[in-house]
Homo-oligomer: A and B are copies of this chain.
Amino acid sequence: MRVLGVDPGLTRCGIGVVDSLPGRRARMVAVGVLQSPPDMSVDLRLLTISQRLDAWMDEHVPDVVAVERVFAQHNVSTVMGTAQVAGLAMVAAARRGVPVAMHTPSEVKAAVTGTGRADKIQVQRMVARILELAELPKPADAADALALAICHLWRPAGALQGGDRHQLTPAQRAWAAAEQASRGPRR
């Protein structure tokens, strides 16, 4: 299975493609950051990002597109652009008939590090270890996009439907807890 992860952002949008391998391993196919110049008008910035998202999807033909779930209360100054880029990624996938999965930042951190409160550097280190990269994936946006893709590959689907938690790894249990917490009431 090939997952394309998108860490949405108007100034910097992280993007990463990961293939699952036998034996719960994963391989990085490509990683990058789509940028748009802050001095350009928003419509042209969104068009730039949209065209580059389309190019990545056409080149890598993912089975699933995983997008970071954006919350309205998080970083008010940039949330509109972030939401808009997330929307463009969703439409680019839907237009190709590719399913879209949304994962929260804490789900992603828990999936790759075992804790929903991991910091950026912990995520980068674990992504590098999981994908057997010689160097830490940089910048953080790129690492986050790879982490999103890994999170989707490793999501403990059984756990969410009440499966046997004894068979879960610590990372999977943390993931399930973060996932459940994210379903609670929120404003």
Query: Chain A interface (Cβ within 8 Å of chain B)?
Result: 41-44, 46-47, 50, 70, 72-73, 76-77, 79-80, 83-88, 90-91, 93-95, 99-100, 102, 187
Contact = CB atoms under 8 A, between A and B. Distances in A.
- Identical subunits present: 2
A187 B43 contact: no
A23 to B, nearest CB: 31
A76 B72 CA distance: 6
A88 B90 CA distance: 11
Given A90-B46, A94-B44, A80 B77 contact: no
A144 to B, nearest CB: 19
Nearest to A85: B87
A77 to B, nearest CB: 7
Given A73-B76, A76-B73, A87-B83, A94 B187 contact: no
A46 B84 contact: no
A70 to B, nearest CB: 6
A47 B97 CA distance: 10
26 contacts: A41-B100, A42-B90, A43-B93, A43-B94, A43-B100, A44-B94, A46-B87, A46-B90, A46-B91, A46-B94, A47-B91, A47-B95, A50-B91, A70-B80, A72-B79, A72-B80, A73-B76, A76-B187, A79-B83, A83-B83, A83-B87, A84-B84, A84-B86, A84-B87, A87-B88, A88-B91
